[in-house]
C-alpha cells in the first residue's frame, strides 16, 4: 500500500458512465432506453449477487428483468431472426461482449448493430461478416405487459410454492418411482403364495427357480428405483434450498431495519426455520405421504387373493389416521410454543456471545446463564410435550399393526378350514397387510414433522409479507446529481413511543453546503440522518432531493447519492480491503488511497506489513475505536456520494487524528461534496459555515456558524448567571 500515504485528489465524483467500461450494463441501459423503461446502473447492480460478469447472457437477462424487460435466450442463425423481434442481443464469439442488432435486410444484404459497451456509434455490417463474428444464440427482449399483470408491481408468486412448481417434472418422477416401487412390492407375497400353494405340494423345482429369478429381478429393480428416488429428492432439496434461501435472504436485505420482525435477532431466528421446511420436503416423511396413496393398490390385490379378510387392514387404516390426527390437536399448540421457546433461546445465545466483553466486564455471567437455563428449560418442557403426543400416536399405530397381523391370521385359519383360501394365500395376505400399513407406521412422525414445517411456513410467510423498500424492478431512473435537500413538516416517532424523535422540522440544504448539526443527546440528530438516507420512513412531512420526492428514487440510487455514517458503524469479518470494497467492488488502488487519505488512516494502513490484506478480526475487533471509525468513513467516501451525513464520525478518535480528519473533510467539501456533520466536537464543527441546533426533535436555531455560536454562548452565560443567582438566594 505504498500509495496510501500520498495525498490524492479530493475531487468529487462526476456522473458515472458505465457504458465506457461495462458492456453488459451499457447494453441493458441501451435496451431500457429503447423500450422507455427506467434503468440505472446502481439500482440494477443492487439486485445482483456479488459482482458477476454482466456480459454473460444469464446475468444480462437479470439486468433486463430489473428494468421490467422480459428476455429469452434461444439458438438461432442470423438469417432466421424475425425482423419483428428486433432489437435483440447477439454475443461476440471471441470476447462474449453483447451487441445489439437493430436492423437486418436480406434484400440489401446489410445489418445495423450497436455496440453500447464501446461508446462507438452504430455501424452497418454485412450479415455474412456479422454471422462469422457472433455466436449462434440470440437474446430476444420484449417489454413486460403491465396490463396483463407482468409489470413491476405484479406479484412474483409465492416464495416457496413457485420453486416447488418449477420442480414439478422431478416430483412427477418421484410419484412414478413410488408407483413402480409399490407395484414391485407385490412380487414377494405373490412369490410366497405360489411357493406354498404350487411348488411345495408338487415339488416343482423348475417353477421355484423361475419364481425366485423373477423375485430377484424385482428386488434389484426395487433397489435401483429407491436409489433413484432418493437422488431425485436430494436434487429437489438442493434446488429448493438454493432458490428459496436466496429469496428469503434477498427479501430480508430489502427490508428497512425497523421493519424486521423482532429485530435482527428475531428475523435471524425466523430465517433458521426454513431448515424445518427443507427437511420435511426433502426427507423420507414426504415419501411416506406419497406412499399413502398406494395403500388402495395393496388392499385391492388383497381382496383378489383373500376376499373378506381385506376388511381387517381396511378397518385399521382409518383408525390409525384418526388417532394420528387427533394427536395433532395438542401437538400443534405445543409445536408453536416450542418454536417461540427456541427463538428465545437463540436470542439469549446471540446477545450473550456477541456482547461477551460487556457481560464479563459487568460480571453478568450468572444473569446470562440464568436466562439461558430458563429459555432452555422452557424449550425442553414444550418439546417434551410434543414428543409425548408423537410417541402416543406412534405406539398406538404399532399396536394396531400387530393387532391387524393377529386378526388376519386368526380369521384366515377359519377361512382355510372352510376352504375359501389356501395356506399360501394366508401368508401372502399377512405380508400384504403389513405392506399396506407400512406407510402408516411413520404417519405420526410425518404429521409431527409436518406440524413443525407448517409452523415454520407461517413464520416465514409473516416475514415475506412485510413490504420491502425496493422490489425486483427498478423504480425510476432518477439519480442524486446535486444533493439539494428540502424537508417540510418532517415528523417521526419510533414504534412504541409517544414522543416524536423528529418533530415538524423544516430544512433546506443547498448543494455542496457544509452544515454542522448540533444538539443534546436524544435531540433527533441521528434520526434526521436516517430519514434523509431513507432508512426509516417519515410519519408525516416530505423530503425532496434535487426536487424529487424521496420515494421516487430507487433505494440503491438514493444511498449512492446520500451517504450515511451511523454513530456505531458496522465492520465485517475479513480484511481491510474486503471491508472497503463492500460498497465499491470495482474501486481501484488510486480511489482506495484517496478514501484512506480523506479518512485519516492512510498512514496506519501504509505501516501494516500486509496493507489492505490485514485481517481486522470479527466485526473489526482487532482495530481500535478510532481506526474502526476511520475505516468506516473511508468505506463510505469510496462510494463518492453527493452528500455525506456523518453522525459523530470522530468521537472515538484522538485529538491529533480528529484534527487531521477535519482538515481533510474540509478539503472534500471544497471539492464539491455536501457535508452534514452531526457532532459535539468543536474541531469538526468548525469546518461548517452553517449550524443547525436541534432540541427535543425540533429545530431551535439555524444560521451562519458565527451567529449560532454567539447565540449559544449568550444562552449558556444566561443559564450560568441564573444558576449563580439561585445559589446566592439559597
- Calpha distance 179→357 (Å, rounded): 59
**Superfamily classification of domain 161-464:** ABC transporter type 1, transmembrane domain (1.20.1560.10)
The pLDDT tens digits for 42-99 are: 888 888 887 778 888 999 999 999 888 999 999 988 888 888 889 999 999 988 899 9
Is residue 6 predicted with pLDDT exceeding 70?
no
Q: How far apart are CA 29 and CA 119, in angstroms?
A: 12
- The rounded mean pLDDT for the chain is 85
Whether the per-residue pLDDT at 152 is higher than 60: the answer is: no
Quickly tell me which residue has 442470423 as its cell: 78
One DSSP character per residue, 30-41 reads HHHHHTT----H
What local confidence, expressed as pLDDT, does residue 725 receive? 59
pLDDT digits (tens, 9 = 90+) for 221-234: 999 999 998 888 88
Question: What is 18-148's CATH topology?
Answer: Cathepsin B; Chain A (3.90.70)
Q: Are 467 and 537 in contact (CB under 8 A)?
A: no
Nearest-angstrom CA–CA distance, 249 and 161 = 17
Three cell numbers written together for 460: 416465514
Average pLDDT over residues 234-238: 85
pLDDT class of 683 with cuts at 50, 70, 90: confident
pLDDT at 1: 39
Q: Is the pLDDT of residue 288 over 80?
A: no
| Higher per-residue pLDDT: 478 or 108 | 478
- List Cα–Cα distances, 108 to 62, 104, 132, 423, 623, in angstroms: 35, 9, 18, 88, 68
283, 290, 438 from 398: Cα distances, Å = 22, 20, 10
Q: Give the containing element (helix H, strand E) for 504.
A: strand 502-509
Cα–Cα dist 316/396, whole Å: 11
- Which band of pLDDT confidence, cut at 50, 70 and 90, is reported for residue 566? very high
Residue 426 has pLDDT above 60, yes or no: yes
447, 286 Cβ separation under 8 angstroms: no
User: Which of 126-140, 175-189, 367-381 comes out lowest in average pLDDT?
Assistant: 367-381
DSSP states along 225-253: HHHHHHHHHHHHHHHHHHHHHHHHHHHHH
Q: What is the mean pLDDT of the segment spanning 139-157? A: 61
Least reliable range by pLDDT among 423-437, 448-462, 507-521, 584-598: 448-462
Work out the percent of the chain whose per-residue pLDDT is above 70.
93
pLDDT class of 11 with cuts at 50, 70, 90: very low
pLDDT at 717 over 80: no
The pLDDT tens digits for 320-339 are 888 877 877 777 667 777 77
Superfamily name and number for 485-729 = P-loop containing nucleotide triphosphate hydrolases (3.40.50.300)
Q: 337-364 pLDDT, tens per residue?
A: 777 787 788 888 888 887 887 888 888 8
What are the structural domain ranges in the chain?
18-148, 161-464, 485-729
Q: Is the pLDDT score of 148 beyond 70?
A: no
Alpha-carbon distance values, 633 to 131, 563, 647 (Å): 51, 10, 10
Q: 383-411, pLDDT tens digit by residue?
A: 777 778 777 878 888 899 899 999 999 99
Q: Distance between CA atoms of 104 and 409, rounded to whole angstroms?
A: 81
Residue 688 has a pLDDT of 92
| Weakest mean pLDDT among 120-129, 221-230, 446-455, 588-597 | 446-455
Query: How high is the pLDDT of residue 282?
Result: 67
| 568, three cell numbers | 456505531
Spatial CA neighbour of 669 closest among 695, 644, 693? 644
* β-strand pairing of 562-565 with 643-647: parallel
pLDDT above 70 (res 3)? no
Joined together, the cell numbers standing for residue 390 give: 408423537
Measured CA to CA, the distance from residue 542 to residue 540 in angstroms comes to 7
The predicted structure's pLDDT at residue 644: 95
pLDDT in tens, 640-656: 999 999 999 998 899 99
Average pLDDT over residues 569-573: 89
Residue labelled with grid coordinates 412427477: 172
Whether the CB-CB separation of 570 and 621 falls below 8 Å is answered with no
Please give the grid coordinates belonging to residue 46. Answer: 443492487
Which pLDDT band, with edges at 50, 70 and 90, does 699 fall under? very high
Please report where in the chains the cell 425532496 appears, as a residue: 544
Element housing 125 (H / E): strand 123-125
* Radius of gyration from C-alpha coordinates of the chain: 35
pLDDT at 175: 87
Q: State residue 297's pLDDT score.
A: 85
pLDDT for 154 beyond 60: no
Amino acid at each position: 500500500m505504498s500509495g496510501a500515504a500520498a495525498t490524492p485528489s479530493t475531487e468529487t465524483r462526476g456522473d458515472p458512465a458505465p457504458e465506457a467500461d461495462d458492456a453488459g450494463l451499457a447494453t441493458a441501459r441501451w435496451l431500457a432506453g429503447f423500450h422507455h423503461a427506467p434503468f440505472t446502473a446502481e439500482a440494477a447492480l443492487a439486485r445482483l449477487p456479488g459482482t458477476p460478469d454482466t456480459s454473460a447472457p444469464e446475468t444480462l437477462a437479470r439486468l433486463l428483468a430489473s428494468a421490467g424487460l422480459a428476455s429469452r435466450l434461444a439458438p438461432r442463425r442470423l438469417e432466421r431472426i424475425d425482423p419483428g423481434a428486433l432489437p435483440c442481443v447477439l454475443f461476440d464469439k471471441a470476447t462474449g461482449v453483447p451487441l445489439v442488432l437493430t436492423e437486418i435486410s436480406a434484400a440489401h444484404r446489410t445489418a445495423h448493430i450497436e455496440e453500447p459497451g464501446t461508446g462507438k456509434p452504430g455501424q452497418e455490417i454485412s450479415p455474412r461478416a456479422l454471422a462469422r463474428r457472433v455466436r449462434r444464440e440470440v437474446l430476444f427482449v420484449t417489454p413486460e405487459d403491465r396490463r396483463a399483470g407482468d409489470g413491476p408491481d405484479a406479484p412474483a408468486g409465492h416464495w416457496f410454492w413457485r420453486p416447488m412448481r418449477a420442480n414439478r417434472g422431478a416430483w412427477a418422477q418421484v410419484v412414478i418411482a413410488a408407483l413402480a416401487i409399490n407395484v414391485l412390492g407385490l412380487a414377494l407375497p405373490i412369490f410366497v403364495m405360489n411357493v406354498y400353494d404350487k411348488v411345495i405340494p408338487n415339488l416343482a423345482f423348475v417353477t421355484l427357480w423361475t419364481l425366485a429369478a423373477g423375485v430377484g429381478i424385482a428386488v434389484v429393480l426395487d433397489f435401483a428405483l429407491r436409489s433413484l428416488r432418493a437422488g431425485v429428492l436430494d436434487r429437489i432439496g438442493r434446488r429448493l434450498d438454493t432458490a428459496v434461501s436466496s429469496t428469503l435472504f434477498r427479501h430480508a436485505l430489502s427490508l428497512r431495519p425497523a421493519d424486521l420482525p423482532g429485530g435482527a435477532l428475531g428475523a435471524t431466528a425466523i430465517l433458521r426455520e426454513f431448515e424445518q421446511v427443507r427437511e420435511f420436503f426433502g426427507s423420507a416423511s414426504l415419501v411416506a405421504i406419497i406412499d399413502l396413496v398406494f395403500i388402495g393398490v395393496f388392499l385391492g390385490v388383497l381382496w383378489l387373493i383373500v376376499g373378506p379378510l381385506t376388511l381387517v387392514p381396511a378397518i385399521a387404516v382409518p383408525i390409525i389416521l384418526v388417532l394420528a390426527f387427533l394427536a395433532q390437536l395438542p401437538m400443534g399448540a405445543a409445536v408453536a410454543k416450542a418454536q417461540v421457546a427456541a427463538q428465545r433461546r437463540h436470542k439469549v445465545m446471540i446477545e450473550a456471545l456477541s456482547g461477551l466483553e460487556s457481560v464479563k466486564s459487568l460480571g453478568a455471567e450468572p444473569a446470562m446463564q440464568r436466562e439461558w437455563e430458563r429459555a432452555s428449560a422452557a424449550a425442553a418442557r414444550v418439546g417434551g410435550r410434543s414428543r409425548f403426543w408423537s410417541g402416543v400416536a406412534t405406539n398406538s399405530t404399532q399396536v394396531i399393526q400387530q393387532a391387524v397381523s393377529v386378526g388376519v391370521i386368526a380369521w384366515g385359519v377359519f377361512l382355510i378350514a372352510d376352504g375359501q383360501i389356501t395356506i399360501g394365500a394366508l401368508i401372502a395376505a399377512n405380508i400384504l397387510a403389513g405392506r399396506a400399513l407400512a406407510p402408516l407406521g411413520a404417519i405420526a412422525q410425518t404429521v409431527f414433522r409436518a406440524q413443525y414445517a407448517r409452523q415454520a411456513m407461517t413464520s416465514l410467510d409473516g416475514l415475506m409479507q412485510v413490504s420491502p423498500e425496493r422490489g425486483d424492478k427498478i423504480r425510476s431512473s432518477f439519480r442524486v446529481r446535486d444533493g439539494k435537500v428540502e424537508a417540510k413538516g418532517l415528523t417521526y416517532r419510533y414504534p412504541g413511543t409517544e414522543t416524536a424523535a423528529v418533530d415538524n422540522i423544516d430544512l433546506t440544504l443547498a448543494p455542496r453546503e457544509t452544515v454542522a448539526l448540533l444538539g443534546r443527546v436524544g435531540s433527533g440528530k441521528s434520526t434526521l440522518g436516517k430519514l434523509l438516507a431513507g432508512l426509516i420512513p417519515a410519519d408525516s412531512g416530505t423530503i425532496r432531493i434535487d426536487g424529487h420526492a424521496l420515494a421516487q428514487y430507487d433505494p440503491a440510487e438514493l444511498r449512492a447519492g446520500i451517504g450515511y455514517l451511523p454513530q456505531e458503524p458496522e465492520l465485517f469479518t475479513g480484511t481491510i480491503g474486503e471491508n472497503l470494497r463492500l460498497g465499491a467492488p470495482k474501486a481501484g488502488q488510486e480511489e482506495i488511497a484517496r478514501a484512506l487519505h480523506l479518512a485519516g488512516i492512510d498512514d496506519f494502513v501504509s505501516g501494516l506489513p500486509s496493507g489492505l490484506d490485514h485481517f481486522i478480526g470479527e466485526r473489526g475487533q482487532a482495530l481500535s475505536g478510532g481506526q474502526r471509525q476511520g475505516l468506516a468513513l473511508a468505506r463510505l467516501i469510496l462510494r463518492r456520494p453527493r452528500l455525506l451525513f456523518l453522525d459523530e464520525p470522530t468521537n472515538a478518535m484522538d485529538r491529533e487524528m480528529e484534527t487531521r480528519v477535519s482538515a481533510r473533510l474540509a478539503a472534500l467539501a471544497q471539492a464539491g461534496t455536501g457535508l452534514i456533520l452531526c457532532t459535539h466536537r468543536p474541531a469538526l464543527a468548525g469546518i461548517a459555515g452553517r449550524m443547525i441546533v436541534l432540541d427535543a426533535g425540533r429545530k431551535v436555531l439555524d444560521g451562519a456558524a458565527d451567529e449560532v455560536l454567539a447565540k449559544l454562548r449568550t444562552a449558556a452565560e444566561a443559564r450560568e448567571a441564573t444558576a449563580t443567582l439561585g445559589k446566592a438566594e439559597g
